């Protein structure tokens, strides 16, 4: 089963990192205010980065790594979307 790590840009300019096995469903949930508590308080959200993995374990490990990055490092990862 495919799994994804994603970064959202929130309405206040902050960045949120998460993982999912259904990117479209998860993005719709975030945008509708039914996603993570953090994004519910920082709407609207925009998908700015994704990575695809073969397993949820890989995605969860990568999510942890990305969450440890500084904001500047995340902006460099996002690249032209920053």
Q: How confident is the model at residue 82 (pLDDT cuts 50, 70, 90)?
A: low
For the residues 63-67, what does the mean pLDDT come to?
Answer: 98
Residue 80: predicted pLDDT: 72
SS3 of the chain: helix, strand, coil, percent, to 5: 45, 30, 30
In this structure, are residues 59 and 5 in contact, taking their beta carbons and an 8 Å threshold? yes
**pLDDT single digits (tens) 13-41:** 999 999 999 999 999 999 999 989 999 99
Residue 13 gets which letter from DSSP? S
Amino acid 81: pLDDT? 57
Burial class (CB in 10 A: 0-12, 13-18, 19+), 57: exposed
Mean pLDDT along residues 50-79? 97
What domains sit in the chain, N to C, each tagged with a CATH number?
3-81 (3.40.1440.10)
On whether the CB atoms of residues 5 and 66 are closer than 8 A, the answer is yes
């Amino acid at each position: 089963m495919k799994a994804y790590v994603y970064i959202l840009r929130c309405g206040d300019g902050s960045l949120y990192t998460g993982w999912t096995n259904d990117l479209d469903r998860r993005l719709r949930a975030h945008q509708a205010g039914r996603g993570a508590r953090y994004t519910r308080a920082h709407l609207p959200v925009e998908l700015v980065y994704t990575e695809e993995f073969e397993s949820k374990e890989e995605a969860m490990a990568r999510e942890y790594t990305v969450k440890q990055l500084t904001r500047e490092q995340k902006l460099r990862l996002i690249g032209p979307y920053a």
